[in-house]
Chains A and B, each alone.
Chain A
Amino acid sequence: MTLEKKDIQGLMVRGHGNLKSARFLLYTCSDPTSSCDFLKEIVPLITNAEEKPEKEAIHIAFTYEGLSFLQLPAPLLNSFCREFKEGMTAEQRRAVLGDIGDNDPDNWDWGQDSIHFLLMVYAKDQEQLDKSMLRIKEQTDRCGIELIHTLPTGLLQHQKEHFGFRDDISRPVIRELLKETPPENLFTFPAGEFIMGYKNLYDEYAPAPYVPFELDTTGLLPVHPDYPERKDLGKNGSYLVFRQMHQNVHSFWKYMKEQTGEKGEAIKLASKMVGRWPDGSPLARCPMAPDPALSESNDFGYWDDDQAGLKCPLGAHIRRSNPRDHLVTETSKKDSSEMAAKHQLLRKGRPYGPPVTPELDPQNIMDSTEDEQERGLHFICMVTDIRRQFEFVQNNWVSFHKFGGLENDADPIIGNHYDTGQYKTNEFSVPHYPIRKKYSNLPNFTLIKGGAYFFFPGIKALQYIANHE
């Protein structure tokens, strides 16, 4: 099935890496009618997937609260999935996501307040970004729309994140975007895993929001492929999950040094926690030392020769967030791979804040003086099923301290680490001869500072939202 790229927002298919400057803007509206006027103005400026912007790209996504505020019809609002309607900070969602203690939404900078929509503005440089921001400000001011949070971003050198590790190497490949037949060893995903209106891995159309036929008076929306009485509002859209994750870089490297005593060993321990060396090479393929030739390696698994985790620990971050072909609870490579494939995310995030050192070399980071700078990652991912994809990974693989037969281990990098007295999640186990090594009292190396679930509509759906009666 061919992708309708003109109707898909461009961020679905590219990360705008050439547009180095970007800002994420969170707005609240004051009047539904003038807000729709703003949308009518902004829709033509939204970058679609057919375009390859050189100067500027703009994307828009809505919270459930925002869509309700715009007074969309009740059947449409009801048709969104429960997680989206409840929002990331609802009690049940907190429990699923493990947002308790330090990560409790009550401690967040944003996410509890009335956010109606998110504008993502990308520009080739700061000057262009400032220009775009001025134009948007004029438009929003005119329509009574208030900017409540501005989230700056900043790409780091060598595709690294703030701890000093190469990031964003493992990305799911969307089958329909490939121009040629992929090599046999490349696992590809049907578009429906990430873009609504297409078949997913279950060979079904993912559940998507819809409009009763009679309410699409302009005839903008396509008919839902499963239900002829519905118009498919979800077609070419997605859910966008946003979590602002503060990274405590100095606390991270301080812990590694304290546990190991010297820098080389500290880097080894940190790499065990990540599952890759700082240059990106995976421990599963080069467990003893980094191999720059493998720094973008994504063609590896664990089933054949690392089931015990002697190379890459079972609890390592990359093994938890994508167990690939080995889940301890499965009895075959095939079952493990099938299970893991059903819980993939299309990541589109960007770091924010200044790097501790420009090169982000862990050796230098460890020598640096602690500062009070705010830095971290704007984690953004696209999924068609929030519960099956994002929440499952966050709950079952990242947060669950019993993952893979472990005992007290949440994800060492992004997990929420605590000790309630009855149970704890702040250990990291490293399979080792003669006896497993266990690192205790892990502090929280990352903290959630904000977050929300958004609907990231297709262009026609946007037009419908802007023009609905």
Chain B
Amino acid sequence: MSTIHKGLTVTVTLHEDKLTDVNGQLFQFRNELKTNREQFEKALPGTFFISWLTLPPQVYEEQEQLPARIILMTSYVGDKNQHIEELVAFLEPKLKQVFGESDEFPITYSGKSEMIAFLHDKSVPNTFYSGFKFISTADVEREKDLKAAVWEYAQQMNTDLEASQLPPSKIKQKIEYYIANNPKLSWAVAGIPYAQKNKIQMLLPLVIFGLVMACSIVCILLSFFVDALFVKVMAWVFPLFLLFMGGMLVLLRQNEKKPHIPGKELSDEEVRKIVALETNPVINEMTVIAPLKKGWIRRAFLSVSLKLVGLLAYFTYIPTVHTARWLQLDKGKRLVFIANFDNLSEAYAHDFVDSERRTKNMAVIFSHAFGFPATRWLIHKQYNHRSEYMKGVRAHQKITQFWYSRNQYESVENLKRNRAFREGLFKEMDEEAIKKWLLTI
């Protein structure tokens, strides 16, 4: 069992003249969600988010027309097969209705098993980030309720002079006793399942990568003393990797020297249409899809960057973001970015530009997309960096016709704090650490 938060992306091409119909269908699903949200929550127990939208044709390198597409992006905890089965079991008629508009959909569609195969077949890899780790959909509610119940129980200690004089460890013991003896909360005694296993699973690719590189460095040294084929081969891996990355960077720099073509600003009317859909009081969604700048090196560099970002996913931190994902479509010519974040996009977009460090991180990915700022050596900004970023994000932001978020009212900081409280339960801590832990309640 895994509680790693992952992203599924399914995409097919669509005839441009069918865009209006499909948009209408997706908007209709959005309206239906207002009245049947409970059914979604019941039938999709492992699903956190669903964004389902159409993408109009876009122009790459000023001449190539990239096709219109339907994109379904979900996030879930657990197994991918199980997630797809869950989606199909509940959404099959809708999936058939929408994907059926694409020429890529099977002509002789035979039912749910074929839909499962279709979703597998049309799913594409993505680089996925989750702002909260190893928290299942069920955990969101029950950890919130657990903390609320404990606060209710414990707040009397503020007024009880004797209790408020107790050392932190005694307070913690009282709380733990209360939880252990409350049938509705005693589930929390068991600790967090799979946490260690999932951490290892998430870190494994990075550990392997690191080991290969470390092994290569050792082999470089050994190659002076040992004449073995394995050592000789391994000794080349690290230098080749460095050479490859260095070469890519030099080629990218050549590309950066080409005159920057600024993108067009989105009209006020279009912006209004987008922000009008941001009606949730806590979490909202943003999808940005842009063709890349001219040159194969952009596609290649972005692809390598996304792989490396994926390796570092465990350590990545993007404030206020529940989930984010990046992927390339149409042979790498399009960048897709989607984020589910706290509050409104008008505020969230500032996370891209307000800190120098973050702007550099963002440049590694976004500077390859058309309409985003020109850079030097990838991360060094040029004049108008900030305004070009803000313009780029808005200019390529798409209307997400259907959006579902299982959790509607807990911010990512709330989720993390609730988890921090649960993690501390029944755990050995010194008095100072307990004091800090008590602040999570």
Chain A residues at the B interface, C-beta cutoff of 8 Å:
82, 85-86, 91-92, 95-96, 202-204, 207, 226, 308, 327-331, 334-335, 338-339, 342-343, 387-388, 391-392, 395-396, 400-402, 404-405, 407, 422-423, 431-438
Complex contact A435–B155 (CB within 8 A) = yes
Chain A residues, CB < 8 A from B282: 402, 423
Query: Are B344 and A395 in contact (CB-based, < 8 A)?
Result: yes
Complex CA distance for A434 and B281, rounded to whole angstroms: 31
A405, B385: Cα distance in complex, Å: 30
Nearest CB on B from A288, distance (A):
17
A-B contact pairs, 26 of them (CB 8 A): A86-B268, A91-B276, A96-B346, A202-B353, A202-B385, A203-B383, A330-B355, A331-B317, A334-B355, A334-B357, A338-B355, A342-B350, A392-B347, A395-B343, A396-B343, A400-B343, A402-B343, A402-B413, A405-B411, A407-B414, A422-B409, A433-B438, A434-B166, A435-B157, A436-B155, A437-B158
Report yes or no: A438 in contact with B155, Cβ–Cβ below 8 A. yes
In the assembled complex, B386 has its CB within 8 A of some CB on chain A: yes
Q: Shortest distance in angstroms between B340's beta carbon and chain A's nearest beta carbon?
A: 14
Chain B: residues with CB nearer than 8 A to chain A?
A: 151, 154-155, 157-158, 163-164, 166, 168, 171, 268, 271-272, 275-276, 278-279, 281-282, 317, 319-320, 342-344, 346-347, 350, 353-358, 383-387, 408-409, 411, 413-414, 416-417, 435-436, 438-439, 441
**Nearest A residue to B417 by beta-carbon distance?**
A405
* Minimum CB distance partner of A98 in chain B: B281
What's the Cα separation between A432 and B145 when bound, in Å?
A: 21
The chain A residue sitting closest to B283, CB to CB, is A402
Chain A's nearest CB lies how many Å from the CB of B179?
15
- For chain A, what secondary structure do more than half of its interface residues adopt (helix, strand, loop), or is it mixed? loop
Nearest residue (CB) in A for B353 is A202
A-B pairs with CB below 8 Å: how many?
114
Partner of A404 from B272, B347, B413 at Cβ < 8 Å: B413
Report which of B357, B383, B436, B438 forms a contact with A204, defined as CB distance below 8 A: B383
- A331 to B361 alpha-carbon distance, docked (Å): 14
A335 with B355, Cβ < 8 A, contacts A402-B342, A435-B155 known: yes
Task: Say yes or no: B155 contacts A338, CB within 8 Å.
Answer: no
For A400, the closest partner residue in chain B by CB is B343
* B158 and A335 contacting across the interface, CB-CB below 8 Å: no
Would B171 and A434 count as touching, CB distance under 8 A? yes
Query: 17 more A-B contacts (CB under 8 A) besides A95-B279, A339-B355?
Result: A92-B272, A92-B275, A331-B317, A334-B357, A339-B354, A387-B346, A392-B350, A395-B344, A402-B342, A402-B413, A402-B414, A405-B417, A433-B435, A434-B168, A435-B438, A436-B151, A437-B155
Picked from A91, A335, A400, A438, the residue with its CB within 8 Å of the CB of B358 is A335
Q: Which residues from chain B contact A388 at a C-beta distance below 8 Å?
A: 350
Contacts of A328 in B (CB 8 A): 413
When the two chains form their complex, are residues A435 and B441 in contact, meaning their CB atoms are under 8 A apart? yes
State in angstroms the CA–CA spacing of A302 and B212 once bound together.
43
Using Cβ atoms and an 8 Å threshold, which residues of chain A touch B384? 204, 226
CB closest residue in chain B, given A404 = B413
- Inter-chain CA distance A400–B320, complex, in Å, is 12
Interface centre among A400, A402, A433, A435 (most CB of B within 10 A): A435
Question: In the bound complex, do residue B439 and residue A308 qualify as a contact, i.e. CB atoms below 8 Å apart?
Answer: yes
Q: Is the CB of A207 within 8 A of B387?
A: yes
Contacts of A335 in B (CB 8 A): 355, 357-358
CB-based contact B164/A329 at 8 Å:
no
Taken together as a complex, chains A and B put the C-alpha atoms of A99 and B134 apart, in Å, by: 37
User: What chain B residues lie within 8 Å of A396 (beta carbons)?
Assistant: 343, 347
Bound-complex Cα distance A82 to B350 (A): 17
Contact A338 B356 (CB under 8 A): yes
Whether A431 lies near B344 (C-beta < 8 A) is no
> A338's closest neighbor in chain B, by CB?
B355
Chain B contacts for A392, CB-based, 8 A: 346-347, 350
Q: Which of B164, B356, B411, B416 contacts A433 (CB 8 A)?
A: B164
Residues of B within 8 A of A329 (CB): 319-320, 413
**A334 CA / B343 CA spacing, docked (Å):** 23
The answer on a CB contact under 8 Å between B276 and A92 is yes
Which chain B residues lie closer than 8 Å to A327 at the CB level? Answer: 319
Q: Using CB atoms, name the residue of chain A closest to B272.
A: A92
Report the minimum CB–CB distance from A199 to chain B (whole Å): 10
Instruction: Please pick, from B158, B346, B356, B385, the residue contacting A434 in the complex, using a CB distance under 8 A.
Output: B158
Complex interface: chain B residues within 8 A of A343 (CB): 350, 354
CB distance from A427 to the nearest CB of B (A): 12
Known: A92-B272, A308-B436, A329-B319. A423 touches B281 (CB 8 A): yes
User: What is the CB-to-nearest-CB distance from B155 to chain A, in angstroms, rounded to a whole number?
Assistant: 5
Alpha-carbon gap, A91 to B436, bound state (A): 42
How far is B413's CA from A404's CA once the two chains are assembled, in angstroms? 7
Cβ contact within 8 Å between B268 and A85:
yes
Say how far A16's CB is from chain B's closest CB, in angstroms: 33
Tell me, in angstroms, the Cα distance from A207 to B155 when the chains sit together.
Answer: 50
- Whether A431 pairs with B439 at a CB distance below 8 angstroms is yes
Q: Determine the distance from Cα of A92 to Cα of B270 in the docked complex, in whole angstroms.
A: 13
Which residue of chain B is the closest to A340 with respect to CB atoms? B354
Query: Smallest distance from the beta carbon of B308 to chain A beta carbons, Å?
Result: 20
Give Cα A175 to B345, complex, Å: 31
Residues of A within 8 A of B353 (CB): 202
Report B-chain residues with C-beta under 8 Å of the C-beta of A405: 411, 413-414, 416-417
Min CB gap B38→A, angstroms: 14
In whole Å, how far is B177's beta carbon from the nearest beta carbon of chain A? 15
CA distance A432 to B319 in the complex (A): 26
Return chain B residues, CB-CB under 8 Å to A433: 164, 435, 438
B387: A residues at CB distance < 8 A: 202, 204, 207
* Distance between A440 CB and nearest chain B CB, rounded to angstroms: 11
Q: Do A434 and B438 have beta carbons less than 8 Å apart?
A: yes
Q: Which of A96, A342, A395, A423 contacts B409 (CB 8 A)?
A: A423
Assembly CA distance A20 to B17 (angstroms): 67
Known A-B contacts A85-B268, A328-B413; the reply to A436 vs B343 at CB < 8 A is no
A298, chain B: closest CB distance, angstroms:
22
The answer to whether A82 touches B271 (Cβ under 8 A) is yes
Which chain B residues lie closer than 8 Å to A95 at the CB level?
278-279, 344
Q: How far is the CA of A387 from the CA of B357 in the complex (A)?
A: 22
Q: Which 5 A-B pairs have the closest CB atoms?
A: A405-B413, A329-B319, A402-B411, A202-B386, A396-B347
Q: Which residues of A contact B154 (CB under 8 A)?
A: 434-435
Shortest A359–chain B CB gap in Å is 33
Contacts of A402 in B (CB 8 A): 282, 342-343, 411, 413-414
Contacting residues, chain B, for A436 (C-beta < 8 A): 151, 155, 439, 441
Closest CB in chain A relative to B143 CB, distance in Å:
13
Question: Does the CB pair A434–B164 fall under 8 Å?
Answer: yes
Could you say which residues of chain B place their CB within 8 Å of the CB of A391? 346
Contact B386 A438 (CB under 8 A): no
Alpha-carbon gap, A387 to B390, bound state (A): 12
CA distance A434 to B164 in the complex (A): 6
- A339 CA to B279 CA, complexed, in Å: 25
Q: Are B411 and A204 in contact (CB under 8 A)?
A: no
Nearest chain B residue, comparing its CB with the CB of A78: B268
Question: Who on chain A is nearest to B281 by CB?
Answer: A423
A338, B352: Cα distance in complex, Å:
12
**Beta-carbon contact of B355 and A432 below 8 Å:** no
Distance between B242 CB and nearest chain A CB, rounded to angstroms = 29
Docked complex Cα distance between A191 and B358 (Å): 24
List the B residue with the shortest CB-CB distance to A408: B409
Which residues of the partner chain B approach A387 to less than 8 Å between Cβ atoms? 346
Distance to closest chain A CB from B78 (angstroms): 27
| Closest chain B CB from A71 CB (angstroms) | 21
Which of A92, A202, A404, A436 is most buried by chain B, counting CB atoms within 10 A of its CB? A202
Set of chain B residues within 8 Å of A400, measured between Cβ atoms: 342-343, 347
- Once bound together, how far apart are the Cα atoms of A308 and B438, in whole Å? 11
